[in-house]
Structure formats: structure tokens, C-alpha cells
Structure 1
Amino acid sequence: MREFEELETHITTLLSEMVSIPSVNPGEGTVDNIRGEERMASYLFNYFKHHSYSFNVKKEEILTDRPNIYIETSNDPNKKTLLFETHTDTVSVDHMSISPFEPFIKDGKFYGRGSCDAKGQLVAMISGIEMALEENDGVLPINVKLAATVDEEHLHRGVDRLVELGIKADGAVAGEPTELKIVSATKGSIRFKIRTTGKSAHTANPQDGINAIYIMSDVIQVIQKKIVPLLQNRNHPLCGNATTSVTIIGGGSQVNIVPDECVIDVDRRLLPGEQWEEAYQEIQDMIMDNLDQDLHSAIIFDYPYLIDPSLETSQASSIVSAFSAMMQSHNEDLILCQENRHRFFYRAFAW
């Protein structure tokens, strides 16, 4: 087993190398010198291909120049399987006050884009696998798989592909920053647009037009005064209450023209047990039920462009119990909780 100082140097070096590799999520844009996960995927592929221990390594292109990486220590059907999953993409580097890809340590903290979310988690998973192999002479009593996926920060198409493949595991851990808290439940979300249509006219004669922004203001009032209070009374013991928010609005083309269209984006957070279809329909029904019939034809609900299911693993499950015991043995505070800012922190499930 390596000494602590040697292990610390290895982990710091590994994280520094990863943070130095730009992998900003391009969204629906094009891959360029800082956007896209190909560079990170190639780094991981080569790291494990040339490792002192033998790994099965596979690269699968999910989007153009944006591949997932799959690593496994073994694939023995007689062994249980533990899956580690995290992502290789990061959020934007816009407005950062430091150079995003020149990592450094200051006052015991590591700085650089992705060091917290989620290259730090990726390094922790890799180091944990390596330490387990060292302690067991290179042969583990279980199969361990690691999936480093793309596009988590946008439409999570990397992990969607992982599910489509039908990967099997007895338990799984997804890496996100939790301050070492065990998170066994998380809200889901749907995001969609609502559009209102009107009729343009010159503002010298606004009565000749139909103002789409005015119609949208009625829609927003229903959301704020009817739907939001309703959801405040819908609670989960770990996740708190369900929520919905209007987050983006746009409409109008010129200051002297009555707008014929207005668009808002709506974010609805789902509690464990809630189905996205029912939540989506509830919003539509409540808006229509609270507005005049003559406005109905002017309101359009787009199909959700993001559908994220909520997740919950029983606190009595074997994997949560095992991780809880491990945390307590290391004198860490044990908190089973949900953190609203992120989708996945700790997820355990069996497919």
C-alpha cells in the first residue's frame, strides 16, 4: 500500500492533468479547442490502456467527437458488480476570475474548471479502484466498472446511452460534489417552453393588435399565484417540496410594434414518486382552468426539451447501509439527504 504522501502526489498530479484538459460542454454548438470531451476521453483511454493493472477499456462515440469511456476490472458473472459513474464535461469558463485550465492549490483548496464538478470525483473513483487492486494483489472479489460519460451539463445523453446499453450492476455510485454526504434521493426535473401568440400592430394603434406579452403575463400570474403555492404543500422527507419556476422570457421584435409572440422557459422540479407526464399535464390544466376560454387558442405548450426522472434508493438498502457503515467507521458525519443544485450525487440501484 502506498504511503499517504505518495498517494497524495498521485491524486494531485492526476487531477492537475485532467483539469488542464479543456472539456467544456458545447451544448448544441460545435466542438472546438476548449469544447467537447474527446480530449478527456483519449486521456482516460490511454491511462487505462497503459496501466500496470489490466483493465477492459472501451470508447464509444455518443455525439460527434464526444465519446463515453467504459472501464472494468473484470466481467465475471459469478461476482457482484459495482458501477461508478461520473462525467467528463464541465460547465462554461465564461466570467471566471482565474485561468480555468491552469490548476493550482491555495490554502488547501484545488482550483481549476472541473476540479469540483466532476473531475475530482473521477480522480477519487480511479484512485479508489487502484487502491483496492493494490490491497487485493490485482484481483477484486467483485467486478468494478467505471463509466465516464459525456453531456451531463446539458442533456445527459452520455448516461442515457449507458442506460440504453442495459448495463447491469448490483449497485452504483454517481460522482458529484456532496461534501462527503451520502445522497440517496434527488429531485428530477422537466424543462419546457410555453408560447403565447398574438397579432402585431403599430403601437400608434395598439387596439388593432393582440399583445402576446399581455397574454403571457396572465400565464405567469397563474404559475406564480396558483401553481407555486400548490407545490409548496407537496413534500418529501429528504427532498423538501416540489417547485416550479419561470426562468427565461422573451418576446417582441421592436419597441413600436405590438408583439405577436412571447416565450417563457419553465423548470419543474419533481419529487421522488412524481411522474413527469402528470406534472407537465397538471401545469397545462391549471393554466387553462384559470384563464378565459378565448385565450386558450393563443397558448402553446412545447414538449419538454429536458426530462430528468427523480431518484430514490431506500435507506434500508444494502448499498446505502454499506456506505453508511463505511462513513461512520471513518468518523464522517452521516447525512442522508438531497441537494437541489445537482441531479446526481449518490445513486444506488439495480437494473
Structure 2
Amino acid sequence: MNGSEQNLIEALKEIADELYPNMIFFAQKLVQTPSISGTEGKLADLDIAEMQKLGYDEVFRDAQGNIVGVVNGTEPGPTIMYNSHMDHVSPGDPANWLGYDPYGGEIDVCAVDTRDKKPDQAECIHGRGASDVKCGEAVQIYTGGLLLKLREKGFPLKGRFLFTGVVQEEPAEMVGMLHLLDQTFPAKGLTYDAMVSSEATSLKIYCGHRGRVEMLITVYGRTSHGSAPWLGVNAIYKALPLITRIKDELYPSLPSDPELGQASVSLNIIECSPGALSIVPDRCMLSLDRRTLPGETAASAIAQIQKIIDDLAAQDPEFRADVAVKSAVETSYTGLSYEAAKDMDPWKISPDHGFVQAAAAALEALGQKVEYGYWDFGTDASKTCGIDRKPTIGYSPMQEQYAHTPYDKCRTDFMKTALEGNAAIYLNATLQGPETYKKVEWK
């Protein structure tokens, strides 16, 4: 490490120390602000005000309610997008929170899991969204503030830093990210070369996750009076062999990936209609959660179910069923509505990819331990890497095991580490050549 690099690291850490108290207070305010999907307006207002206070060069909100903050470098270079979603899931029954207010944003010292899973004690912020993803969101916004202060001190900055906060990530149709990248960015003349997600990684570099397809199977029968079931065709009974084959034949045959694990299928909802005690049902609806691997698509997942349907229909003249990808209409807090398919692409990026290597080298220069991982759940990176094939990683202070639980919390010491790490990743990655931003490929 030469003298100028050492000076930069020292300045980075000094500024992180200076910004840390305000960043923690801001994270508390975010946790204290309810923002269930479709109601993110007040949280977006807080984000916008904080970026303006920090001195971002440009801050704006798009028609769907997504927000963008821009920090321009002093020299040309790549654009790196740091992304968080602004919504969270319901806190559920407050009685399960063991004395914490789900919207309290309380700070205390409590038991936590360390990176090696051993119990430990650490100071944490508690509340719904703390680990998914409000504390990471605060860190990313303050990363822009740190870069601005480096610029003020005369350190050169290449490229452009973007913070993007998107709406409606939790419903898993990616409507916020899709609108931002496919509509807002072109209208604003913006592009991006790589993305860092704030989804929970425990300070590891995450490199992918399985895709997710929600499928609806409808099995058809014929109604009759419940007192004379022999006069009808019970759709629930007709669904039983289909369920059995999905569980016993399809699931065990699904492929696996050495990093992402096994593809899976889970029957999570069963409904029937008319749904009255005295009527034999003529429809049975099965909702499947199908997790896909690179190389699999919604079409290929549908085809597997269709084959089972066709086989059963050939054996039983009374068996009728169809299958489709589920969709939903999502309306943002600004009133903009989208009907979107529940289909998220799988993706992964090799630890040998130039962007991942640049991130790892940046963390090593700070003295941080570099480890790699993969999410169990899905993220909006299904758009950036799964569809756009842009280099994408996750790097975050939050811990995945606390997401969506009544133990939702984030370590404040991890937040300080992540603030330094995020800034270092940006500074090092923007110094690299075009190979760092090459299209992501997988088999």
C-alpha cells in the first residue's frame, strides 16, 4: 500500500467516525417509520431529506415513488448503484417481540449471532425492517455522504455513485426495480455499470440466489350436493395424485447447484370452490412456490407441471387441470399500478469476476475479513444480474436470520464496518478497467 492509498484509508475511517452517530440516529428514524409495501411515502420523504442534508448533487423521486440520489465524481468513470428497498413486511403480533416495540427503533446490548454463529453480545437497533433493510439503507445513504466529504477534502472520485430506494420489493414482483431501471433511468439519461445490494449478508460478499416462480394449478371437477357425492366429481380428490407426484417424483428430480443449493418446489396454499360444506367442490387451487436455478425458467418449471397434468389426464378421463404463473396488481403510494408476473430470475456471479475481486480487494485493504455467501431468499438483484446481467453483489451489516422475524435487529458495530466497506468498494471498483464491468455469464 503506497502513501496516497494509506492517506485515503485514514481519511475514509476518520469521516466514518464523524458520520457514525448521525447515521445510527437516521437508521432509528427509518425503523420508527412504518412502510409496509404500498405505503412507503413517509420513508421516502425521510430518505430524500437526509440525502439533501448530506449534500447529494441531485435527489429526485420518480412517478412510482422510487427515489434516487446522485453523487458525481471529479473524473469520468463507471456508475455504481447502491440499492435498498423501502418497504417491509408486517410486524405480526406485537406480543411476539419480547418487550420491543416493532416500530420503536430501540438500541440496547443484546445476544446476537456472530459471523461464525457463536453467541455473543453486541449493541443493536431493534424493530421491523432493521435487518430487512433499513439499517443497510441508512448505511448506503451515508456512504454517499462519506464520498462527498472525501471529495470536499480534495480526494479524486471517479465515476458516479447512485443510491436508489425502490418501492414494493417484498411482494416479489420487482415492480419498483423494473420501473426504475426500464422507465425512470432512460427518461433521466441514467445508466449503471454495477450494483451493490443492501440485503442482509453479515458483512460477507453475496454472489447470488435462486429464482422464484409462483404457480397456480387449478384442478377441475363437477359440483353435486354434499349428501350425494357420487353425483359429482370432487376436485380435491382429483388433486391428490397430482400433489403426490409433485412431492414424490418432481421434487427429488430437481437439479442442484454447488453454490445455490437445490431447486425446490413447495405446495403452500390449497383452496377450493364453491367452498361450502354441502357442495362437492368443482375447483381445487394449488399455489406452488418453485425456486429455480440458473438455466431454469418459468416456462421450464411450468412445463414440468404440465407433463404431470398430461400424464394424469391420459390415465383418468375425468381429470382436468391447468397451470399458470401467478400475477398480481401492485399499486404504489403514488397511485401507479402494475400487473406483474410472480417470476424472479435466478442469478450468480463468480467470485473471480472483476467486480467481485475489486470489492474483495477493497475490504481486505481495510483489514476486513472477506467471505462469500449466497442468499436463501430472493432480491431485486434478479433484475440487475438475472435479467440485465450487470455485475451485482450483496454487502450489508444486516444478518439474514433476523429478517421477517420478531427478533428483527441489526448490529451497530457492523453498520460502522459496512459504511467503511461500502465506500472502499466504490473507490476501488471505479479505478478498475472495463473488464470489471463485463456482462455476467453462467452455465
Q: Hey, what does 2:163 align to over in structure 1?
A: 146
Query: In the alignment, which residue of structure 2 is the partner of 1:180?
Result: 203
1:270 shift after superposition: 1.0
Q: Given residue 259 of structure 1, which amino acid in structure 2 is its aligned partner?
A: P
Partner residue in 2 for 1:130: 145
Matches within 5 A, 1:1-351: 2=14, 6-26=18-38, 36-51=39-54, 53-62=55-64, 67-74=65-72, 78-96=76-94, 97=97, 98-107=100-109, 108-137=123-152, 140-154=157-171, 155-165=173-183, 166=186, 167-231=190-254, 234-252=255-273, 253-294=275-316, 298-305=320-327, 306-343=342-379, 348-349=391-392
CA–CA separation in structure 2 for the residues paired with 1:180 and 1:200: 56
- Of all paired residues, the percent bearing the same amino acid is 24
Which amino acid letter does the alignment assign opposite residue 319 of structure 1?
Answer: F
Q: How far did 1:50 drift?
A: 3.8
TM-score (norm 2): 0.70
Match of 2:428 in 1: none
Write the letter of the residue equivalent to 1:80. Answer: P
Q: Deviations over 1:214-264 (max 9, x none)?
A: 111121111001110101xx1212101111111111125222321111111
Q: Which shows bigger deviation, 191-200 or 91-100?
A: 91-100
* Cα deviations by residue, 1:177-204 (Å, 9 ceiling, x for unpaired): 1111211121111102111111111222
- Equivalent position of 1:29 in the other structure: none
Distance 2:24 2:107 in 1: 9
SS of aligned partner of 2:26: helix
3-state DSSP of counterpart to 2:68: strand
Give a deviation string over 1:272-311, Cα, whole Å, max 9, x none: 2322212221222133225544457620213332010111
Q: Which amino acid aligns with 1:82?
A: I
Report the Cα distance in structure 2 between the residues aligned to 1:312 and 1:170, rounded to whole angstroms: 16
8 Å contact kept, 1:250–1:264: yes
Between the aligned partners of 2:376 and 2:358, the Cα distance in structure 1 is 24
The 2-side partners of 1:238 and 1:223 are apart by 24
User: TM-score scaled to structure 1, two decimals?
Assistant: 0.87
Q: Which moved more, 1:338-347 or 1:157-166?
A: 338-347
1:218 maps to a residue whose letter is P
Deviation at 1:141, TM superposition (A): 1.8
Closer/same/farther in 2, CA of residues 296 and 204 from structure 1, 3 Å limit: closer
User: Following the alignment from structure 2 to structure 1, what is the Cα–Cα distance between the partners of residues 262 and 240?
Assistant: 25
Residues 44 and 318 (structure 1 numbering): CA distance in 2 closer, same or farther, change over 3 Å? same
Q: Unaligned regions of 5+ residues in structure 1, if any?
A: 27-35
| In structure 2, C-alpha distance between the alignment counterparts of 1:44 and 1:285, rounded to whole Å | 49
The one-character-per-residue Cα deviations of 1:136-186 (angstroms, maximum 9, x if unpaired) are 327622200111000000122100112313552221111101111211121
Aligned residue type for 1:17: K
1:328 CA drift (Å): 3.2
Secondary structure of the 2:250 match is helix
User: Could you tell me which amino acid in structure 2 is paired with residue 285 of structure 1?
Assistant: K
Letter in 2 for 1:22: P
Over 3 Å counting, the alpha-carbon distance change for 1:79 and 1:327 in structure 2 is: closer
Whichever structure has more helix as a proportion of its residues is 2
Preserved contact between residue 81 and residue 170 of structure 1 (Cα < 8 Å): yes
Q: Which amino acid aligns with 2:347?
A: L
| Corresponding residue SS for 1:136 | helix
Q: Does the aligned pair in 2 maintain the 1:186–1:344 contact within 8 Å?
A: no
Matches of 1:48 and 1:210 in 2, distance apart? 61
- Secondary structure in 1 aligned to 2:88? coil
- Displacement of 1:334 in angstroms is 3.0
**Cα distance in 2 for residues equivalent to 1:130 and 1:169:** 19
How much does 1:59 deviate?
0.5
Question: Could you tell me whether the CA contact under 8 Å between 1:48 and 1:55 is conserved in 2?
Answer: no
Q: Distance in 2 between matches of 1:54 and 1:129?
A: 7
Cα displacement (A) at 1:135: 2.2
Moved more, 6-15 or 181-190: 6-15
- 1:299-332 CA deviation, whole Å, 9 max, x = no partner? 0213332010111223222210011223334454
Distance change >3 Å, CA 9–CA 301, structure 1 → 2 = same
Query: SS of the counterpart of 1:89?
Result: coil
The question of whether the paired residues in 1 share the 8 Å contact of 2:56 and 2:70 is answered with no
Contact 1:196 1:215 in 2 (8 A): yes
Contact 1:200 1:259 in 2 (8 A): yes
Preserved contact between residue 81 and residue 161 of structure 2 (Cα < 8 Å) = yes
Whether the aligned pair in 1 keeps the contact of 2:16 and 2:146 (CA below 8 Å) is no
> Which sits farther off after the overlay, 259-268 or 248-257?
248-257
C-alpha distance in 1, partners of 2:70/2:16? 26
Quick one: distance in 2 between partners of 1:218 and 1:297? 10
CA distance in 1 between counterparts of 2:179 and 2:356 reads: 25
Q: CA deviation at 1:54?
A: 3.9
Count of aligned positions: 335
How far residue 122 of structure 1 moved from its aligned partner, in angstroms, is 0.7
CA deviation after TM superposition for structure 1 residue 344, in Å? 5.2
Q: Which residue of the partner structure matches residue 424 of structure 2?
A: none
Shift of 1:76: 8.3
